[in-house]
Structure 1
Amino acid sequence: MFSRRQLLGAGAALVSTSAWGKTSNMGLPDAAVMETAATQPPLRPSSGPDYQPVVTLNGWTLPHRMNNGVKEFHLVAEPVEREMAEGMTAYLWGYNGQSTGPTIEAVEGDRVRIFVTNRLPEHTTIHWHGMILPSGMDGVGGLSQPHIPPGKTFVYEFDLIKSGTFMYHPHSDEMVQMAMGMMGMFIVHPKDPAFMRVDRDFLIMLNAFDIDPGSYVPRIMTMTDFNLWCWNSRLFPDIDPLVVSRNDRVRVRVGNLTMTNHPIHMHGYDFEVTCTDGGWVRPEARWPEVSIDIPVGAMRAYEFDAVHLGDWAIHCHKSHHTMNAMGHDVPTFIGVDKTNVARKIRKLQPEYMPMGTAGMADMGEMEMELPDNTVPMMTGWGPHGPIEMGGMFSVVKVREGIASNDYSDPGWYENPPGTQAYEWTGELPDFARAADRS
């Protein structure tokens, strides 16, 4: 039914789909599709003002075509399969083959025309969250426009009158469609290429799902008791790192479409908050942080100079949000001797393993049997053992000499002698005594 061609060269996963032959869709721009959960290289501007393109962690940027001075994009709302982590796939709703949907990038002053094709089993719309535009383009079904029926394509067209970081999501059956993963980011770059310029620009969408172990489809009626906390519908240890070169000026944009706030904390640095949903923060109004709380339905962007080499954790500071698929009704067994009861249980279930008596750290090393399509509660290994994290967690990797267009994982950082915590064995090692003499 669909013809596919490579857009980004051999081995790339971004392909173009021309639907329904040469009939009603002949005038539509290609609907590019992403078939992998890996971070894709940024799309450099090919016309108009220059800008530093964003890098969407475990995501991608939607290509556009120019038509008489208008930038045209094609979004397809459809059921998708998303690899949330190795060994776990979710059946979600999204855009152009993925949840979250592709990032849209344009420039302040551009006129955009966005074709939205609905391949869902129910009607939908798209709301352009935070953008200033005509009421009829705002995307609230029944209020500002008719709902988009299944099989139909609607057109949104408006001018981008301000730069900043925005989001998109449905305003049709919103509770279901957002709970199923329908959301994405819309970046409008300043028309002045020198304004707020950075060397690396990363994009994270905070989202959450309630998916029972062994199952594939989110429970859409959940209000607060989610069990999978994601960045761009991805879980640690399979969230890609933020790779930067030493002395780069780095921006991290974080949007939140979950049902709770998230205090995002980055190790090794302080930073300044430079942008909110409302626009850029004037230099005299910026404030320093090491953690920034991202409210529900909001965006915050912060910047720092990458002067400290190393592997630096970045994560939500709500401790349950750095865990995967955990049950919230598990009793606490710390300090409880379960030896006798474990012996009795093993008579019925020989594989039974008692856990929790001394905390849950053993979960990071165990490889206990799990239901199919289930990711461990905490997993991931670093150079010194289990990292014991999951969910909303990644690593900022600062290295010397990273090329400007290189975002590949440089591997683990090797701490220079004298810069790593060590075991006390009764006397100071040579490097510590040498430091004392200096």
Structure 2
Amino acid sequence: MDRRHFIKSGAAGLALGALGSRTAQAEGINDANISSSASTSVIPAGRPGGIPIPGGAFRPVPGKKLDGGPGYNDPRNRFGGAMRVGRDISPLYTYENIPSESEVEFKTFHIDVVLTEHELVDGVKMHALAFNGQVPGPEIRVQEGDWVKVVFTNKTGLMHTIHWHGLFSPYEMDGVPYTTQPPLMPGQKFVYKFRAAPYGTHFYHCHFSTPLHQAQGMHGAFIVESKDDPVRKQFPYARDYTMVLEAFALDYARQGFNAMLERMKEKMRLMKLHKLSKETLAVFRNYGDLKKHIKAGYIPPYSQNRNQGGSVLPNWNFFGINGKSYPATSPLLIKPGEWIRIRLINGGFLEHYMHLHGHDFYQVANDGALLPAPIRGNTIAVKPGKTADIVVYGNNPGVWTFHDHDTTRVTNNGVYPGGMLTTLEYEDFVGGYAPLTAIDE
């Protein structure tokens, strides 16, 4: 599929790569809004340690934990009073009153899901369910308030939906199979329409057979940019990076795909013959509804002998950032005196503790919502389904490690180093250290 098929003329920008440096912009979204034409000159340091005080307005009281702690609610931590707390709640709208395409311009995206092989690191490939053939899926960037249209095509032998995690979509667009919509059968299309709100860092993922589909590739970043970015006003960041944190179970994928395809083929055959109802795959809306169907003969999947169905438990043995395991991960580039923004998205099912060497950073947003006060730290916990935005100031030239501090996740199939590790690299840095011997020799 070429790029023109994915995004129509005049549609919003998307990043085909993982990091912000690869983000492509659409008409109506100025490059300066994302990769910034803001000054990268050194701002005079406002406190010991060299981290500047943008405009002299922000004087943080150090907090010891990123989930609160000393200084968290201190009024001196409020971006000089300029930072919006929380998000504006958009007026309620339903699917029925979404405007037509003749009334408003929709930012239109085409997303296909395919079964493919994805290379995590040299010599290691996995069976993946991939949006537009890539893991993670293409990054979607739109402006707050844009009307969004996503044409989703199922090109696999499985059933799928897309859930817009953190976005205020109409009920019918939420992507929960048999609850808000029927799942897409093989070869089918579904058109999602909604307004881009609230602003912030979000993501999208499959919500059918989620443990397998989401973990094996069906996830991607969805960034809603603020038209009046309060973060950039106080931290004039020059680069905007996205890091999708992932855990992969290669054996689970190989065994799970084969077993699931066989079961799905049989279920669809029986459904066509009207010998199997859709309730077999349903998410029941309440316990009473489930009990009613059980009395009528429905057998819940959890009560069946799962050992006979090819079911396996995931053994997470590879970990990645934006679909790659170290050393195949891409570095984060920075210059002295420059601010950068990093959007962390946990697209998997494990908690990760991202630690940056040689620097402090400030967390400025959680699940897309701005914090009442930036929180200073060097390690941040990102739980499954969560997003966190941090800003980093370039005041310590070098090549610095940024990794999950649960070092079992900094491995490739148990071999260290690997996995969820990248580097913060200063451009044009020439270090004076040349390793002479390994530490264990």
Q: TM-score, normalised by structure 2?
A: 0.64
Measure how far apart 1:41 and its partner are: 2.2
Decide whether the 8 Å contact of 2:334 with 2:394 is kept in 1. Answer: yes
Alpha-carbon spacing, 1:54–1:297, altered in 2? closer, same or farther (3 Å): farther
Q: Which residue of 2 aligns with 1:145?
A: 181
Q: What SS does structure 2 have at the residue aligned with 1:217?
A: helix
Indicate the structure whose relative CO is greater, using CA pairs within 8 Å and at least 6 residues apart. Answer: 2
Q: d(CA) in 2 for partners of 1:251 and 1:37?
A: 14
The reply on whether 1:300 has 2:281 as its aligned counterpart is no
1:210–1:219 Cα contact (<8 Å) kept:
no
2:203 to 157, 167, 183: 167
Q: Give how far 1:222 is off.
A: 5.8
Choose which of 309, 317, 321 in structure 1 pairs with 2:405. Answer: 317
Structure 1 unaligned regions, length at least 5: 6-14, 19-25, 56-65, 327-376, 379-388, 401-412, 424-438
Report the secondary structure of 1:320's partner residue: helix
Query: In structure 1, what is the Cα distance between the partners aligned to 2:230 and 2:435?
Result: 42
Alignment pair present for 1:95 and 2:131: yes
Residue 210 of structure 1 contacts residue 218 of structure 1 at CA under 8 Å; is this kept in 2?
no
AA at the equivalent of 2:426: V
CA contact (8 A) 2:246 2:321 kept: yes
Which AA in structure 2 matches 1:397? Answer: E
CA contact (8 A) 1:205 1:255 kept: yes
Q: Give runs of aligned pairs for residues 98-177 of structure 1, distance below 5 A.
A: 98-177=134-213
2:431 to 409, 412, 415: 415
The structural deviation recorded for 1:87 is: 1.7
Q: Which residue does the alignment assign to 1:191?
A: 227
Same amino acid, percent of matched pairs: 28
Of residues 227, 249, 252, the one that matches 1:210 is: 249
Paired position in structure 2 for 1:356? none
- Does the CA contact (< 8 Å) of 1:50 and 1:193 recur in 2? no
Which whole-Å deviations, capped at 9, do the CAs of 1:260-307 have from their partners, x for residues lacking one? 21100001110111011151113xx22111000001111111112112
Which structure 2 segments of 5+ residues have no match? 37-100, 258-310
> Is this contact kept in 2: 1:116–1:155, CA < 8 A?
yes
By how many angstroms is 1:224 displaced?
6.0
Corresponding letter in the other structure for 1:414: V
Distance 1:84 1:53 in 2: 28
TM-score relative to the length of structure 1: 0.65
Instruction: Decide whether the 8 Å contact of 2:118 with 2:128 is kept in 1.
Output: yes
Matched-pair contact (CA < 8 Å) for 1:123–1:150:
yes
Instruction: Please tell me the residue identity of whatever aligns with 1:202.
Output: Y
Cα 1:49/1:158, change in 2 over 3 Å: farther
Q: 2:135 is paired with a residue of what secondary structure?
A: coil
Does 2:231 match 1:231?
A: no
Structure whose residues are more often strand by fraction: 1
Q: Which has the larger helix fraction?
A: 2
How many angstroms apart in 1 are the aligned matches of 2:436 and 2:358? 19
> Residues of 1 paired with 2:255 and 2:168: CA distance?
32
Provide the alpha-carbon RMSD of the alignment.
3.3
Separation in 2, partners of 1:46, 1:167: 22
SS at match of 1:77: strand
Label 1:190 to 1:223 Cα distance change in 2 as closer, same or farther (>3 A).
farther
Give the aligned partner of residue 368 of structure 1.
none
Give the counterpart of 1:245 among 335, 353, 372. Answer: 335
Which region of structure 1 is more displaced relative to structure 2, 37-46 or 308-317? 37-46
For 2:159, give the aligned amino acid. H
Question: 1:281 corresponds to which letter in structure 2?
Answer: L
Shift of 1:390: 0.3
Structure 1 residues 47 and 157: CA distance shift in structure 2, 3 A: same
Q: Cα deviation per residue 1:328-355 (whole Å; 9 max; x = unaligned)?
A: xxxxxxxxxxxxxxxxxxxxxxxxxxxx
Alpha-carbon distance, 1:176 to partner: 2.2
Task: After TM superposition, give the deviation of residue 180 of structure 1 in Å.
Answer: 2.1
**Which segment drifts farther, 251-260 or 235-244?**
251-260
Look up the match of 1:43.
Answer: 24
| Contact map agreement 1:208 1:233 (CA 8 A) in 2 | no
Count, aligned residues: 313
Q: Once the 2 structures are TM-superposed, how far is the Cα of residue 420 of structure 1 from its aligned partner?
A: 8.6
Q: Is the 8 A contact 1:274 1:301 kept in 2?
A: yes
Query: How does 1:5-20 map onto structure 2 within 5 Å?
Result: 15-16=3-4
* 1:183-224 per-position Cα deviation (integer Å, ceiling 9, x unaligned): 111000001256535211111111111225xx9837575656
1:181 is matched with 217
Distance in 2 separating the partners of 1:166 and 1:98: 18
Does the Cα contact within 8 Å between 1:206 and 1:254 map onto a contact in 2?
A: yes
d(CA) in 2 for partners of 1:33 and 1:257?
16
Say which SS state the counterpart of residue 176 (structure 1) adopts.
helix
Match of 1:78 in 2: 114
- 1:118-161 deviations in Å (ceiling 9; x for gaps): 11211110000011121111111111111111111111111113
Shift of 1:312: 0.6
Deviation at 1:102, TM superposition (A): 0.6
Residues 1:399 and 2:415 aligned together: no
Cα 1:257–1:37 shift into 2, 3 Å? closer
Aligned equivalents of 1:16, 1:92: Cα separation in 2? 24
Contact 1:168 1:186 (8 Å CA) reproduced? yes
Query: 1:113 offset after TM fit, Å?
Result: 0.7
Measure, in 2, the Cα distance between the counterparts of 1:118 and 1:72: 17
